[in-house]
Amino acid sequence: MSIPTASQAAPIRTVGTAVVGSMGPELRITGPLHERFEEILTPAALAFLTELHHRFAGRRHDRLADRMRRRFEIGNGHDPRFRDDTAHIRDDPDWRVAGAGPGLEDRRVEITGPTDPKMTVNALNSGARVWLADLEDATSPTWRNLIGGQLTLRDAIRGELAHTSADGREYRVTTERTPTIVMRPRGWHLGDRHIDFTDRTGRTLSASGSLIDFGLYFFHNARALIDAGRGPYFYLAKLESSEEARLWDDVFSFSEEYLGIPHGTIRATVLIETLPAAFEMDEILYELREHCAGLNAGRWDYIFSIIKNYRGRGARFVLPDRSEVTMTVPFMRAYTELLVQTCHRRGAHAIGGMSAFIPDRRDAEATARALEKVSADKRREAGDGFDGTWVAHPDLIPAALAEFDAVLGARPHQLDRLRDDVEVTASHLLDLRIGRAITRAGVRENVSVAIRYIEAWLRGQGAVAIDGLMEDAATAEISRSQIWQWINQDRRTEEGDLITAEYVERHIGEVIAQTARTEGDRFDDAADVFREVALQPEFPAFLTLTASRFLTETA
């Protein structure tokens, strides 16, 4: 199928700030058309997005309904397990995934971050092998961030990106060897507040954030990326089942045909960051096998998923302070070792988790201590067989690179390490015993981090440096979900405090009172969002869905 030109695409008309398809299924843009947005929201691109929604929006809603049923079952005592109906996939030793595409062969250090111009330039100059260009957890989904991020990526891929900050500083890409870009679209659960989709039955729904982000990036950049010797590569977030992976694979196959690109050109790396997905790693790889490069251990969202699914199941499923849930506790060790073993059996890269420390050049001693922890974390990952890892800041790249260089040497990966010594059962994945306490400081930290992150998110920032760590939506989810669980499981702190909504409310008041306020800040709104997602009887599946109601386009 050839790419439709603007004249061949479904006719559009402008109504105020809206662009509307004139016939059949249609997309309606409700966000304003800012400077250069027409370069991304072209008639041909909108025709492609419309076709994606026509073909796949219904299946997306089916998969989201599956998620609700699965959470209900776990909440009622039915633990996840390895599926009987897909045992033949796990037991078949012969199938393999497509593996790394051009430019993805060596992934030993990947840097993550949002797609604003400054962060993009910093990432491309960082020296990392891969840049995760994040439109999901590290991006607050304002219209300017989403379409502006697409513009930034378009310019970067064509070598046209330059940025001058408000203080007059110029940012340009200065290195010839830039990281391979792997873009992360929003997860299946997220709609788009700025684009509506009307299906053939006349129903008007929010467009899929996943299809919008993927579709615009792929449509505008696939050929340019291929011509540059790389390709259209994606990180897939929040998957919970092989059926969701199959949906993505069908989206990829259709999109390749639509643009006349060879089948299998797209490569995807799936974040295993939900508890149900940990029980279907083989199946997820299998469904995506013609487009799959690997799996990533999304550690922070994985912890959040554990809490979310087991939040009401009793005291033995309650985790201690967030800082105590490290990668060496039993359920995290089991999950990561199973991921490496599964990947390498199938020829897929295994990518390790995030190091979120932000170096402070004003405190050399504290920075040195923190960098040693980063090195120890990466040393463990490389020793366990991971082929690469994530960092959140360029200053962490040398420490991470040194540990992987020590293990890999000149090799691009260690797929030959099959980890036949690993034996992980369902009970290992659900062994949440840590033996540590909930502390008064842990409660306070969760309240403080969550409110400060939400406040920045409401102002349009999705990745925020807080107390020396880079926080994003995933870490904020841990903070608020722990508070909810501790309240509803009648937990006490190590100091003897009963954790109630009233007790947490006192901490909220202290955080707000001790915060330096500025004109136009969103701390009052952030506190209201936090109360709604952490203190109410109902548990919202994602805090960003609640917070979106408070998000304004002035951000």
CATH number at 182 reads 3.20.20.360
Query: What pLDDT is stored for residue 163 in this prediction?
Result: 87
Which domain, by its residues, includes 130? 86-194+201-429
Q: Are residues 345 and 478 in the same domain?
A: no
Q: How confident is the model at residue 512 (pLDDT cuts 50, 70, 90)?
A: very high
* Structural domain total, the chain: 2
Which backbone phi and psi does 156 adopt, to 5 degrees? Answer: -65, -45
pLDDT above 90: percentage of residues in the chain? 90
Query: What pLDDT is stored for residue 24 in this prediction?
Result: 55
DSSP string of 511-541?
A: HHHTSPP-TT--HHHHHHHHHHHHTSSS--S
Q: What is the pLDDT of residues 17-52, one digit of tens each?
A: 334 444 456 899 999 999 999 999 999 999 999 999
Q: What is the pLDDT of residues 350-360, one digit of tens each?
A: 999 999 999 88
Residue 16 covered by a domain = no
Q: How far apart are CA 324 and CA 19, in angstroms?
A: 50
Tell me: pLDDT of 367 over 50: yes
DSSP state of 395: G
Tell me: pLDDT of 513 over 60: yes
From 181, 112, 206, select the one nearest 475 (Cα to Cα). Answer: 112
Catalytic residue among 144, 184, 186, 452: 184
* Residue 529 CB partners (closer than 8 Å, separation 6+): 454, 458, 543, 546, 547, 550
Element (H, E) at 162: strand 162-164
Q: Are residues 230 and 323 in the same domain?
A: yes
Q: What is the pLDDT of residues 56-93, one digit of tens each?
A: 999 999 999 999 999 999 999 999 999 999 999 999 99
Residue 24 covered by a domain = no
SS (H, E, C) 33-84: CCCCHHHCCCHHHHHHHHHHHHHHHHHHHHHHHHHHHHHHHHHCCCCCCCCC
Active site residue 107: no
Q: Are residues 366 and 453 in the same domain?
A: no
Catalytic residue among 106, 137, 301, 472: 472
Q: Are residues 312 and 184 in the same domain?
A: yes
Pull the structure tokens for residue 188. Answer: 């299946």
Whole-number CA gyration radius for the chain: 23
Of 398, 429, 460, the position where a domain reaches its end is: 429
Burial profile 292-301: b = 16 or more Cβ within 10 angstroms, e = fewer: bbbbbbbbbb
DSSP state of 13: E
Q: Are residues 304 and 233 in the same domain?
A: yes
Q: What is the pLDDT of residues 199-255, one digit of tens each?
A: 878 889 999 999 999 999 999 999 999 999 999 999 999 999 999 999 999 999 999
Output the domain CATH number for residue 464: 1.20.1220.12
Q: Are residues 464 and 423 in the same domain?
A: no
Provide, for the chain, the percentages of residues in helix, strand and coil under a 3-state DSSP scheme, each rounded to the nearest 5.
45, 15, 40
DSSP state of 222: H
pLDDT above 70: percentage of residues in the chain? 95
Q: What is the pLDDT of residues 245-299, one digit of tens each?
A: 999 999 999 999 999 999 999 999 999 999 999 999 999 999 999 999 999 999 9
Q: Are residues 165 and 113 in the same domain?
A: yes
Residue 45 covered by a domain = no
Give the mean model confidence (pLDDT) for residues 521-533.
Answer: 98
Tell me: pLDDT of 2 over 60: no
- Among 157-171, 383-397, 536-550, the minimum mean pLDDT is found in 157-171
From the CB of residue 113, how many other CB atoms can be counted at a distance below 10 Å? 25
Residue 79 covered by a domain = no
From 430, 454, 450, 434, select the one nearest 442 (Cα to Cα). Answer: 450
Helices (H), 330-396: 330-345, 364-384
Three-class secondary structure of residue 106 per DSSP:
coil
Q: Are residues 277 and 424 in the same domain?
A: yes
Query: What pLDDT is stored for residue 438 in this prediction?
Result: 98
Residue 74 covered by a domain = no
Q: Are residues 101 and 162 in the same domain?
A: yes
Active site residue 184: yes
Residue 5 covered by a domain = no
Question: Where does 377-453 show beta strands of DSSP type E?
Answer: 388-391
Q: How confident is the model at residue 166 (pLDDT cuts 50, 70, 90)?
A: confident
Residue 408 covered by a domain = yes
Tell me: pLDDT of 555 over 60: no
Q: What is the pLDDT of residues 493-511, one digit of tens each?
A: 999 999 999 999 999 999 9
Pull the structure tokens for residue 432. Answer: 């949440």
Q: How far apart are CA 471 and CA 467, in angstroms?
A: 9
Query: What pLDDT is stored for residue 554 in this prediction?
Result: 61
Residue 47 covered by a domain = no
Task: Decide which of 17 and 325 is more confident.
Answer: 325
Of 379, 396, 429, the position where a domain reaches its end is: 429
Q: How far apart are CA 365 and CA 309, in angstroms?
A: 40
Q: Are residues 464 and 397 in the same domain?
A: no
DSSP string of 259-307?
A: HTPPTT--EEEEEE-SHHHHTTHHHHHHHTTTTEEEEEE-HHHHHHHHH
Of 368, 399, 429, the position where a domain reaches its end is: 429
Q: Are residues 168 and 233 in the same domain?
A: yes
Q: Are residues 514 and 368 in the same domain?
A: no
pTM of the model: 0.95
Give the mean model confidence (pLDDT) for residues 376-401.
Answer: 97
